[in-house]
Amino acid sequence: MGIYDFTVKTSKGAEKNLGDYKGKVLLIVNTASKCGFTPQFEGLQKLYDAYKDRGLEILGFPCNQFAEQEPGTGEEAQSFCKLNYGVKFQIFEKGDVRGETAQPLFKYLTAQKKFEGFDPNHPIAAKLEAALKANFPEYLEGDGIKWNFTKFLVDREGNVVKRFEPTTDPADIAKDIEALL
């Protein structure tokens, strides 16, 4: 079973076989559906603008599993949601990404690339870890998705080459993308 064997649904309900992306470099991301760690949407869009002509596709999978809690996004006071009208990359149907109800694609991705910890130097790392310990200690166990905006980089042959936690900003993935293009 490889990445190209998965079929997913677009946000408009159409079936999409990931085999259609053969030969592309992919960045697969579980996104906040509307609220949550949203500043990364902007960073992802910048990556897409910069590299789409060279063969990058970004695939966003909205998920509500982390939506209501907002630990340390840098906008702790925020208690509103903002639609992301500026996003041009492909967004798929909303679904679970962790636990037993996780979509098969995310079970596959997290089995391919394990959780190796948050980047402690990122400004949200300590707050995110503390909030998880307090509210969802089980999320910290195992290799499942920890929070919105976990990113998986896939090369042109379909190999999952790297996993980036929410504590890696999209801009810091640029060099890894360039290496694969």
b/e 110-134 (16+ beta carbons within 10 angstroms → b) = bebbebeebeeebebbebbbebbee
Distance CA 159, CA 77 (A): 40
**Minimum Å distance from CB 68 to other proteins?**
4
Of the candidates 34, 80, 78, the one whose C-alpha atom is nearest the C-alpha of residue 60 is 34
Nearest residue (CB) to other proteins, 64 versus 112: 64
R_g of the chain computed on alpha carbons: 15
81 is catalytic: no
Residue 35 as a binder of other proteins (CB under 8 A): the answer is: yes
Distance CA 120, CA 18 (A): 33
Burial (CB < 10 A; 0-12, 13-18, 19+), residue 105, is buried
Residue 81 as a binder of other proteins (CB under 8 A): the answer is: yes
Question: Is the Cα torsion angle 27, 104, 90, 41 positive or negative in sign?
Answer: negative
Residue 174 as a binder of other proteins (CB under 8 A): the answer is: no
DSSP state of 123: T
Determine the interface stretch with other proteins among 1-9, 72-80, 102-110, 165-173 (rule: CB under 8 A): 72-80
Two structure tokens written together for 40: 């990364």
Nearest residue (CB) to other proteins, 34 versus 52: 34
Residue 148 as a binder of other proteins (CB under 8 A): the answer is: no
Determine the interface stretch with other proteins among 9-17, 27-35, 141-149, 160-168 (rule: CB under 8 A): 27-35
**Minimum Å distance from CB 75 to other proteins?**
11
**Minimum Å distance from CB 86 to other proteins?**
9
Determine the interface stretch with other proteins among 17-25, 32-40, 105-113, 114-122 (rule: CB under 8 A): 32-40
Residue 80 as a binder of other proteins (CB under 8 A): the answer is: yes
Residue 9 as a binder of other proteins (CB under 8 A): the answer is: no
Residues in touch with other proteins (CB under 8 A): 33-35, 64, 67-68, 78-85, 94
